[in-house]
Amino acid sequence: MDGEIDADELRSKLDEETVRVVDIRSPGAFERGHIPESENVPFPSLVDEVERFEGDDEVVTVCPKGKSSVQAARLIASYEGFDGDVVSFEPGLNGWDGPLERAEDEETPADTAAADRDSDEGPAAPF
């Protein structure tokens, strides 16, 4: 794992389209609101789907509070087929002050989805 980034750094990377954002929450939480252009790979599925990141230059993992995303970033970084950089979004989705997208591709103001951000942290797994 290559560390953690904050909201300003993530926003900059999204503007430059240089990063793959992986939201590790449950599908239901993801559908209620997620960072635009992110994809959902629930934490329990990550081990089976880690090869999806092979060939990516940079991956940012996201969870509600920035705790499980550290473990997810470590898991991706430990995969032999992954040569890029992987970081955790340090404040978690709770610290994202930008817009959120819903599964229906509707943008949602950040404060209306705040209640959804506190759930689905995922299990604490030793990686």
Indicate the class that CATH gives domain 4-95. Answer: alpha beta
User: How many Å apart are CA 127 and CA 123, to the nearest integer?
Assistant: 12
Q: What is the pLDDT at residue 103?
A: 77
Q: Report yes or no: 75 and 50 within 8 Å, Cβ to Cβ.
A: yes
For 99, the token pair is 């817009």
C-alpha atoms less than 13 angstroms from C-alpha of 1 in its C-beta half-sphere? 18
What radius of gyration, in Å, describes the C-alpha atoms of the chain? 13
Is 116 a residue whose pLDDT tops 80? no
Is 102 a residue whose pLDDT tops 60? yes
Which residues are identified as catalytic?
63
Give the predicted TM-score (pTM) of the model: 0.82
- The predicted-structure confidence for 18-65, as pLDDT tens digits, reads as follows 899 999 999 999 999 999 999 999 999 999 999 999 999 999 999 999
Is 16 a residue whose pLDDT tops 80? yes
